[in-house]
């Protein structure tokens, strides 16, 4: 029986045009990773269940796709109704598998180990617009160094990769977890740092009064609200904000360490040139708080409906969960799906003619096709992408094929043309038709 | 508690050096696919269980990785011990998902539709040497045409891609399913074509006598053995073999159609140039018999322990299982893991310096590092891959990093060198050290 086929909810098929655009994004980012010495690795989609479970919180554990065990294990699972017979699962992100990788292969790696990884991940989430059950992550991390030069490097990577993709208006927001700790300390609420940062992280959305209201509701006193008030009005340049915060945090040792780290990074960046990124110190940025221990990054595109297109930060202990201590690191992530949407909204995707078929030979019959096949081989050897239509069917049908596939040039080589050594070439965009020497077909691309 | 982490059995982590080599293989093949007008697509790892089940035979069904359903469905599965609650599975190959894709998106595609696809697949197989539970397939197919020019095209793609990877000694074996049908017919055993071809497919391994023995055991008569005997002694050039077979199959309509198809392909290839491949008609080749309806390909590397590195063929009806009739096609597959092993055995992998870090700046302290960071940025803008060591630690440690990572050039820029405008460059391969002008560092690669 014929089935009506479809892909599962929350997953996607990528058609050729979309693939070209996605690959442009990945290739551009990859190129910058390589420029800075990051090396590609891949880990399997399948991980042992125990590698993943307990690393993403209770909700995360629920969202991990588990595999039904094969053979006897699967029977036992059903007989005993005991999910502990499940042994394998699909990776939920690239970070935990990377930590596992570093610990497992520590003797084969040179530290600081700089890796990038672009692979799909799976989450058994409720599918909705922009949220998928299978999607690519695109990460670079370095482990095994405390050097803040890596934070500087990642800012450059963000700047260069996004600029090369054509973005001109975006900011890299930066904060430091130690500054957030300092704020909580200065306000006398060190223990409640999470409540505080969850609230001030919303400043963008709900405004100062909204944040104050949320803090009150959570039981923070008016004395506290007064103490934290100056943070909402931090304005001016990065160094102006830093100066104000310095006096504010003067009594907090951890806060001042955070200030120093941030100053170091801003100083190094000021000595170099960013192409398009605006580096912006944002004391309310608190992304992934429990995880990060130093710098926190978030990249935002301006003038588009979708904002955040990347993020990352420093962590002191990524591999500790797998028993390897003292491997601090820092990493960033590019939100490829988001970047795709931004580039589409801003109409920044280029013409892809170099990556798809450039010339189609019309098929007039077997003898002519022999000639065209030979010409096509010569052109391919010159680095061009060429097709010969496979059947000598109606011209209209052959032209329609070129049109639908976006092939820019169509060559008509009938027996008369072949004898004369000249063929007709049609420029599909302009509709113009020309006689061309067979030998110069390899330069047809210059005719625009 | 710290866990001792590892990846699941039958899966692999790919370290940077292996990734470079794998990507070389994929990129080289991809380049040829694109030259001939094949377009990239991707389908999700997850497919509906019903899309996959029943397509690979009973054993295949068992080897499909099924996902444990989340939420209520998962509870029901356990309560009712009813595996029909399982809804999703991991793809087992790229062919069935591609058929699903073509049917689902038929109105968005232009036919003949030429696609390539390089993605992992999963099989819950018993892991053993060279057999993995997760591995990449690398396929190109065209659907929607009967034209034999595509067979010709695929022979060229095999030849070009494998030649570019450095292989010089390999053959593309070709046969035709219709010839096999003709043989069965001529021998009066049309119904037993599978038994016949399973046996003669083993000629390589067990020799003529072995095949005769197997056929006897299966109940074929001595009359039959006599009739089939000439096939074992087919020798000479492709056209000599074809001529002999022509008289042998003269009474079989289907057999003669197969002969004609094969002759067409051999004729077209003889009018063009193959770089290294030897195209070899092998009447005993019967790969994937139930599936293919026309040409059958197998690619074999010579002079290495691993033989088969690719295969494919023509099928009349790939999408029929999903309700779309009359979409014949032909496709090939490259065995990437096998090709990797062959290239390694023959020592054909090139130097990868362009794809990894080319220059490391030694870190002598903050001021020097500032200078190096700036120089590094200039070099990167010129397309080079450059790192600055992140800490001003012991020279020995920094050199060891360069050595382990295979970085060919190390730059020493201390304060004296920086003032003088000249830096020292060490060629890590030769050990030689030179003074170089800071501005000419971007040409360091020419020093070999």
What is the model's pLDDT at position B402?
Answer: 96
Computed over its alpha carbons, how large is the radius of gyration of chain B? 28
What is the model's pLDDT at position B289?
Answer: 60
Token output for A371? 């000639």
> Taking phi first (over 0 means left), then psi (-120 to 50 degrees means alpha), and beta for anything else, what does residue A279 get?
beta
Residue A271 and residue A266: Cα distance in Å, rounded? Answer: 9
Residue A266 and residue A151: Cα distance in Å, rounded? Answer: 10
Sign of CA dihedral A241, A247, A252, A258: positive
What is the model's pLDDT at position B426?
Answer: 96
A179 — pLDDT class (breaks 50, 70, 90): very high
Q: How many Å lie between the alpha carbon of B283 and the closest alpha carbon of chain A?
A: 27
Is the pLDDT at A204 greater than 60? The verdict is yes
Best to test chain B binding among A4, A8, A352 (most B CBs inside 10 Å): A8
Is the pLDDT at A2 greater than 70? The verdict is no
Does B370 sit within 8 Å of A271, measured CB to CB?
A: yes
Mean pLDDT value of segment A152-162: 98
Q: Does B257 touch chain A (CB under 8 A)?
A: no
Token output for B188? 């009066």
Computed over its alpha carbons, how large is the radius of gyration of chain A? 28
* CB-based burial, A21-59: b 16+ in 10 Å, e otherwise: bbbbbbebbbebbbbbbbbbbbbbbbbbbebbbebbeee
What is the model's pLDDT at position B421?
Answer: 87
A1 — pLDDT class (breaks 50, 70, 90): very low
Looking at chain A, the whole-number percentage of residues with pLDDT higher than 90 is 81
Q: Does A55 touch chain B (CB under 8 A)?
A: no
Does B13 sit within 8 Å of A104, measured CB to CB?
A: yes
Q: Does A264 touch chain B (CB under 8 A)?
A: no
Q: What is the mean pLDDT of chain A?
A: 93
What is the model's pLDDT at position A342?
Answer: 96
Does B50 sit within 8 Å of A3, measured CB to CB?
A: yes
- Partner residue facing B12 (CB), from A44, A374, A377: A44
Q: What is the pTM of this model?
A: 0.95
Mean pLDDT value of segment B49-57: 93
Model pLDDT for residues B162-191, shown as the tens digit of each residue: 999 999 999 999 999 999 999 999 999 999
- Partner residue facing A272 (CB), from B23, B83, B373: B373
Residue B188 and residue A339: Cα distance in Å, rounded? Answer: 64
Q: What is the mean pLDDT of chain B?
A: 93
What is the model's pLDDT at position B446?
Answer: 81
Mean pLDDT value of segment A405-429: 93
What is the model's pLDDT at position B238?
Answer: 96
Looking at chain B, the whole-number percentage of residues with pLDDT higher than 70 is 99
Q: B297 forms bridges with which residues in the sheet?
A: B174, B312
Best to test chain A binding among B2, B20, B374, B390 (most A CBs inside 10 Å): B390
Strand order of the β-sheet with B88-90 is: A46-48, A88-90, A66-68, B66-68, B88-90, B46-48
**What's B289's DSSP letter?**
T
Is the pLDDT at B127 greater than 90? The verdict is no
Does B145 sit within 8 Å of A390, measured CB to CB?
A: yes
Whole-angstrom CA distances from A32 to A313, B157, B380 are 18, 31, 9
């Amino acid at each position: 029986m014929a089935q009506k086929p479809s892909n599962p909810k929350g997953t996607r098929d990528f058609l050729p045009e979309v693939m070209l655009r996605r690959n442009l994004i990945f290739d551009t980012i990859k190129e910058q990773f390589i420029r800075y010495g990051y090396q590609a690795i891949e880990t399997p989609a399948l991980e042992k269940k125990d590698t993943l479970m307990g690393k993403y919180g209770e909700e995360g554990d629920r969202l991990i796709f588990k595999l039904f065990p094969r053979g006897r294990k699967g029977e036992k699972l059903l007989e005993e109704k005991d999910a502990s017979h499940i042994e394998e699962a699909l990776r939920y992100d690239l970070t935990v598998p990377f930590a596992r990788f570093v610990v497992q292969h520590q003797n084969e790696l040179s530290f600081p180990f700089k890796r990038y990884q672009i692979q799909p991940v799976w989450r058994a989430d409720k599918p909705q617009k922009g949220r998928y059950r299978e999607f690519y992550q695109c990460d670079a991390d370095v482990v095994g160094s405390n050097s803040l030069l890596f934070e500087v490097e990642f800012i450059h990577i963000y700047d260069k990769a996004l600029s090369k993709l054509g973005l001109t208006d975006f900011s890299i927001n930066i904060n430091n977890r130690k500054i957030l700790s300092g704020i909580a300390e200065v306000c006398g609420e060190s223990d409640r740092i999470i409540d505080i940062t969850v609230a001030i992280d919303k400043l963008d959305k709900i405004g100062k009064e909204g944040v104050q209201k949320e803090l009150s509701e959570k039981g923070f006193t008016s004395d506290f609200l007064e103490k934290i008030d100056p943070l909402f009005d931090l304005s001016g340049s990065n160094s102006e904000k830093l100066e104000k915060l310095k006096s504010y945090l003067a009594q907090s040792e951890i806060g001042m360490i955070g200030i120093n780290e941030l100053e170091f990074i801003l100083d190094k960046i000021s000595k170099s040139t960013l192409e398009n990124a605006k580096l912006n110190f944002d004391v309310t940025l608190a992304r992934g708080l429990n995880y990060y221990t130093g710098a926190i990054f978030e990249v935002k595109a301006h003038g588009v409906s979708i904002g955040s297109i990347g993020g990352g930060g420093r962590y002191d202990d990524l591999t500790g969960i797998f028993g390897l201590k003292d491997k601090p690191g820092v990493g960033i992530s590019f939100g490829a799906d988001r970047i795709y949407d931004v580039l589409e909204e801003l109409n920044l995707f280029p013409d892809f003619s170099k990556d798809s078929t450039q010339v189609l030979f019309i098929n007039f019959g077997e003898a002519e096709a022999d000639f065209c096949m030979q010409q096509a081989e010569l052109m391919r050897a010159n680095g061009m992408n060429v097709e010969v239509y496979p059947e000598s069917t109606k011209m209209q049908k052959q032209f329609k094929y070129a049109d639908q596939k976006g092939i820019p040039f169509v060559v008509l080589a009938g027996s008369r043309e072949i004898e004369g050594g000249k063929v007709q070439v049609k420029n599909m965009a302009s509709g113009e038709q020309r006689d061309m020497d067979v030998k110069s077909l390899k330069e047809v691309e210059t005719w625009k």
